[in-house]
Amino acid sequence: MATSTTHEVDADAAEELLLDLVETPSPSGEEDAAAERLIAFFEAHDREVFRDEVGNVRAPADDSVLLTSHVDTVPGEIPVRVEDDPADEVLSDRDAADEDTRVLWGRGSVDATGPLAAMAVAAVETGVSFVGVMQEETDSAGAHFLVEDRDAPGAVVNGEPSGWDGITLGYRGLIAGTYVATSESGHTSRPEPNAIEHATSWWAAVREAVSEVGGDEFDPVFEQVTAKPVSIDGGTSEDGLSVEATMDVQLRIPPALDAGSLRELADGELDLGTVNWGTPIPPVMESPRTPVARALRGAIRRSEGDPRLLRKTGTSDMNVFAREWDCPMATYGPGDSDLDHAPDERLPLAEYHRAIAVLTDAAADLAEGDAA
């Protein structure tokens, strides 16, 4: 285990890190500049830090706790600015009463540069391990490499927006596939369906089929299967002899189901074509009674908050960690997740600082074993 050192990070330095990272474009595959800024932050605080084979920023230390979040963001330019906005609806009642009503606008401020910066600061202040992973927004390449390259830590806090008083315990899983079909070309007046019609008919049948296994209309979305087409392409082939269709699709998997059964169900609706399925990401649902959940709840209460336990309908790197590591974990971070990927993405700076305090408090408790 690397030597564990602790350093105090003042509020100005914490804000400087956040603003620098938000001002540094880091869409998936283009994270190098942001990664170098993280490295400079850890080096300035006498921490060992390096980039691994896939580009993850790793600062090993006290491995009883690993704080980790992703460096990449989705594409999109939002002018970076800090505005004083006491009426901003993303502020809670308690936030609105605070003196600091500044709001940071910019791509990644919520998903997940805010959580990333908060975790980097908390890792320096407590001397626990940190990893900034690559490409969470695409294929989670950084998380997949990490679980193969190192043993499980004592506990994991994964960084995604939950609100400073929220703790995310569950995510649905994901299986993605690509449908491919080819049919003979012919005059469009002919009644026989072509490949494009087969593609759309197949997907309509899949949506109907999964609606019957994923719960009824009164179930929460978390307990349902969500079937979503991501892209579709089709038309006459270059030689003019066939009609081709390609459709990329995703199925979100609730904890009560598994990828294999959904894949079998979808394949059973095929009349023409094939589906090439990717590696599934299983759902995860952690107990609210784990040491990580208890540590975060206690830290939120000590910051005068009322902890909220959350389940998310999407998928995160926590799914990857939970599949491979047998250790307690939860997801936490500042920001309103309704603003993920949104054109008005923004983060109240008061919430960012409060999240740092919660993470620092919780990580210290976990490192000392107080939350066990």
3-state secondary structure of 355: helix
Q: How far is 203 from 113, CA to CA, in rounded Å?
A: 35
- Selecting among 31, 111, 136, 286, the annotated active-site residue is 136
Q: How far is 78 from 110, CA to CA, in rounded Å?
A: 12
Q: From the CB of residue 227, how many other CB atoms can be counted at a distance below 10 Å?
A: 20
Q: How far is 241 from 243, CA to CA, in rounded Å?
A: 7
* Residue 136 annotated as catalytic: yes
Q: Cα separations (Å) of 50 from 29, 39, 83, 144? A: 18, 7, 35, 18
Q: How far is 269 from 34, CA to CA, in rounded Å?
A: 45
Closest CA to 98 of 305, 329, 321: 305
- Selecting among 15, 31, 62, 72, the annotated active-site residue is 72
Q: How far is 253 from 245, CA to CA, in rounded Å?
A: 25
Please check whether residue 68 is in contact with residue 317, taking contact to mean a CB–CB distance below 8 angstroms: yes
Q: Cα separations (Å) of 267 from 2, 20, 236, 279, 341? A: 48, 47, 25, 16, 32
Token pair 């407590």 is at which residue? 126
Q: How far is 43 from 9, CA to CA, in rounded Å?
A: 13
Please check whether residue 7 is in contact with residue 341, taking contact to mean a CB–CB distance below 8 angstroms: no
The H or E element spanning position 162 is none
Residue 211 — left, alpha, or beta (φ > 0 → left; ψ -120 to 50 → alpha)? alpha
3-state percent helix, strand, coil for the chain, nearest multiple of 5:
35, 25, 40
Q: Considering Cα of 309, then 312, then 318, then 319, what sign does the dihedral take?
A: positive
Q: How far is 282 from 252, CA to CA, in rounded Å?
A: 9
Please check whether residue 90 is in contact with residue 336, taking contact to mean a CB–CB distance below 8 angstroms: yes
Active site residues: 72, 136
